[in-house]
A and B are shown apart, each in its own frame.
Chain A
Amino acid sequence: MIEQTSPFANYLIALPEITLVVGAMILLMLGVFRGRDASELVSWLAIVLLVLVAGLVLIIPATGKVAFDGAFLIDGFSRFMKLLTLIGSATVIFMSFDYMRHARLMKFEYPVLILLATLGMMMMISANDLIALYLGIELQSLALYVLAAFRTDSLRSSEAGLKYFVLGALSSGMLLYGSSLIYGFTGTTGFSGIADGISAVGPNLGIILGLVFFMAGLAFKVSAVPFHMWTPDVYEGAPTPVTAFFAAAPKVAAMAMFLRVILSAFPDITHQWQQIVVFISIASMVLGAFAAIGQKDIKRLMAYSSIGHMGFALVGLAAGDATGAQSVIIYLAIYLVMNLGVFACILAMRRSDGMVEEIDELAGLSRNSPMMAFLLAMLLFSLAGIPPLAGFFAKFYVFLAAINAGLYTLAIIGVLSSVVGAYYYLRIIKIMYLDEPAEKFEPMPGALKIVLGASGLLVILFFTYPAPLVQAANVAAKSLF
């Protein structure tokens, strides 16, 4: 299935990435020479560039081709995941204008850094080699550290950036240590070579120890328990559009990378990694459900919610087969849509004296702006997994995959923690619909209305026509095996 290519064809395979990096550098130069006035122009051009790259990803036939001596792979899976991250990045830039203008953060570096982070994510998704994977992670993370600290006049933002940086460096160290052990015992860094080496040697202690460290590093990147400590602080401290970005595209990319490396490099020691995935999945779901209950800040709440959701997505990975991979892909697509919608609402929580982030400020939203309250309620119901909204189907598929694989305990704990998690989503809905109205928010900017409307519609109407997503996910998952 996988065919080797001529040197020139390498560049065709990586054309979307090359376009993205060249475009990002051109926009950087445009910003440098035109100064701060060009910031909005650069942001719009960045969105155009992301759409263009998405077009290229769609056009280039993705039939399991490798480039650069096997370091870079495109297939149905990478195509689907790249489209998701590109949509996430473009939407976040689109939603940021109003916030950035008010916070006097309208700098041309912001869209450029998002573009470069997106490049790192695309490299992570296409990585077929440990070195390529690590370089993709570092490219993405370095841009994200800067974005977290982007608000230089805010102490909390700087703290978020520093915390993320120190813990991210620690996790990269663990990942590298694990990679070096894996390399030492299999003699290669390519995923297919590692799989061959393991099937030849069998599960020896060195490879397993390497795998444990490697997965610790990966779990940090998807913020799964017990490597989740950074998430709430970073989400709270970072500027809100950046938080929206963190919760959307990097999560999808990191999860896609997790899926690819585990399924394609370690298929012969499924039993060994399955235990780890089951553990971090259960821990993430339970902690995500219980720790979010006491939160007052909506960004912190979304951080715990994202930890929980990564736990649910890992349930599908624990199944370790094509159905499981398909369910994770569906989960990530729906998660991305729901999260972007909720963050559109959080970005609209603005009074005349600035942004507010307390959950209590949403009180009586149903009377102040009924449409926003209704759509937010639908998104929260969907996050909680209540039928017939999209979030229910996302959970349904992952639990189905777990049951098919015989992981009954995991599925039962998942359903139970989903019930606990529903409490804090419903509490927000109760505050919006039943409490005495608080002061009104400023009218919602057009861009946020569009994003919220689109996301709300997709979530509500998903059950009428789920076939396209399910089939696309099926095709994408098949290419992994």
Chain B
Amino acid sequence: MLIADLFFYLFASVCVAAAFMVISARNPVHAVLFLILAFVSAAGLFILLGAEFLALILIVVYVGAVAVLFLFVVMMLDVDFAELRSGFLAYLPIGAVIGIILLIELVLVLGSWVITPQVAAQITTPVPPLNEVSNIKALGLVLYTKYVYFFQAAGIVLLIAMVGAIVLTLQHKPGIKRQTISVQVGRKREQSVEIKQVESGKGL
């Protein structure tokens, strides 16, 4: 138990420190790398909770795809991030004050935490015991049955994001070379290759 506690504090403190470095790192590439560190520590926290499926999804999707994509965007876009965020940390004091106020409020709220039997009874789908049902099975049992509406709605949200990205960035400029497979396949040898007889010692 002690080891699990130690790992919890390790992952939690690394996660918070990495998240802070994401916004304070001067170099955007370093910021993205710290973001990856934050994701990995969060995945560690999930494993400690017994949610190994979510932990692996976090690593595969967020670290493997999203963060790497970020890294590519940061490297390819020629944006002067240092100038963009100059004076960014000047807002730190006021942000800290607001954060402390929120923290005090949260502590007060947690102090008033009451769990009555009625509330406990209302938790309609309790998490199935870990030793009986695996993570993936537990998700699969509800994802396409109880939560099918939410699942489909989330799918449409993604569709809108795709349509939006295309409509806002795709410009049909004339004179752009496009790949037309039928033309490529239908190309004859005579159209593309010209044979010249070169006499020796003369050149073309």
Q: Which A residues have a C-beta under 8 Å from some C-beta of B?
A: 14, 21, 25, 28, 36, 67-69, 71-72, 107, 109, 112-113, 116, 119, 123, 131-132, 135-136, 138-139, 142-143, 145-146, 149-150, 152, 161, 181, 185-188, 193, 196-197, 200-201, 204-206, 209
B168 within 8 A of A: yes
On whether A186 and B164 interact (CB within 8 A), knowing A123-B153, A135-B154, the answer reads no
B77 within 8 A of A: no
A71 near B157 with CB under 8 A, answer no
Which of A71, A145, A188, A201 is within 8 Å of B116, CB to CB?
A201
On whether A150 and B167 interact (CB within 8 A), knowing A21-B156, A132-B150, A139-B160, the answer reads yes
Q: Which B residues have a C-beta under 8 Å from some C-beta of A?
A: 105, 108-110, 112-114, 116, 118-120, 122-124, 146, 148-150, 153-154, 156-157, 159-161, 163-164, 166-169, 171-172
Which of A69, A112, A139 is within 8 Å of B163, CB to CB?
A112
On whether A209 and B109 interact (CB within 8 A), knowing A123-B153, A201-B119, the answer reads yes
In the complex, chain B residues whose CB is within 8 Å of the CB of A197:
118-119, 122
In the complex, chain A residues whose CB is within 8 Å of the CB of B118:
196-197, 200-201
In the complex, chain B residues whose CB is within 8 Å of the CB of A119:
156
Which of B146, B148, B153, B169 is within 8 Å of A135, CB to CB?
B153
Nearest-Cβ distance from residue A177 to partner chain B, whole angstroms: 10
In the complex, chain B residues whose CB is within 8 Å of the CB of A25:
159
A209 near B167 with CB under 8 A, answer no
Nearest-Cβ distance from residue A418 to partner chain B, whole angstroms: 36
Which of B146, B167, B172 is within 8 Å of A146, CB to CB?
B167
A28 near B112 with CB under 8 A, answer no
On whether A135 and B112 interact (CB within 8 A), knowing A113-B164, A152-B168, the answer reads no
Considering the complex, give the chain B residue whose CB is closest to the CB of A116. Answer: B160
A28 CA to B164 CA, complexed, in Å = 12
In the complex, chain A residues whose CB is within 8 Å of the CB of B157:
135, 138-139, 142
Considering the complex, give the chain B residue whose CB is closest to the CB of A14. Answer: B149
Considering the complex, give the chain A residue whose CB is closest to the CB of B163. Answer: A109
A135 CA to B157 CA, complexed, in Å = 8
Which of A72, A123, A193, A204 is within 8 Å of B122, CB to CB?
A193
